[in-house]
Structure 1
Amino acid sequence: MTTTMRAQAPVQLDLFGAVVSAERQRVVDALTCLRDAIPEALQIVVELRCWRPGDSRKPRAGGAWAYCISHAGLGFEAAAEWWAGARECGETWGWSRTPANLMPWEELAGLIGDDPRRAEIAGWVDTLPSIRWRQLQRPHELWPDPGGWHTSYFCRDHVDEHWTARRRAWQLVLDLLTDAITREAS
């Protein structure tokens, strides 16, 4: 397994000092991956760091994205590039390869750290019992393609005593990330 992430290309400024679209696209892609592919997005938004004791760069995939959550930051790459694109270039590809792009935690904190919705989400998380992994996971109906899940998953979500607050917290996470994406894309 590859244990290092590719270094980011330096930011290229145009004559007027604006960042060229490749750097903006990298930021938008990281935020989109976080919003659309990562079941632990709520915990990432609250913590703005890797909460796991060990530093794993093991890749995972969801929807259109490959990603990993490491102590260095959020690794991400479009799944098509991570899988087929790298293979076509003769690079290590798929499960043997850490996603190529990295958003350091400090950069993510600069993008969403001051959003007041984070405080509300973190406040809710603090009210949960100590074994709370299920409540922190993305509700099945809030995935980009909820029609792919069996109805039993929705039922299990809805009967949980924390359902209403969990749904609200997750909607805040998705709104926060969508707003950040919109800001960065414009």
Structure 2
Amino acid sequence: MATLLETWRNLAYGDGLDDKKREELWTGYFTVEKGIYEKILSDPAQVVEGTVKELAEKYETEVLIMTGFLDGINESLKGYENPIETMDENTAVKIEIDPEKLYYNMVEAKATWLYGLPQWETILTEEKRNELYKAQKASGTVRREGHKIYPNDPCPCGSGKKYKKCCGRNQ
């Protein structure tokens, strides 16, 4: 049986949905994601704990969408990561953000609708936000290592999508 994360990633990035349904999934996901971040960033020192199912209920969303959220925020937490690879709806998880890591990762994901949220103005100074933005952009230089990337290869950005459906789309 597929884990929650495998199910989410198949729907979001894999062959689990046709293009129209996948677009609907992401449109809904981004709306929910923004709403959760608005709540979390209104009190960035809070530690949110509960099972995956309890957090889905708390933020008024589905377990699979919560799984996608937890997958996205996992590298922006303070000194630990949740067991996203193996979790089910009854797995206890914790969200305690590291604001600088989170802001940096939002810039890396090109999530302007998230790193542009007004809540950041009270969390990080404008100087700090600019410094993190510049540091991320400087680190984002892709160096070609001599081998050709084909359209059906996994995208080198690490999204899990095929190159042609991700970074290769604009070339």
Q: When you count strand as a share of all residues, which structure comes out higher?
A: 1
TM-score for both structures, normalised by structure 2: 0.31
Which of 1 and 2 has higher RCO (CA within 8 Å, sep 6+)? 1
TM-score for both structures, normalised by structure 1: 0.29
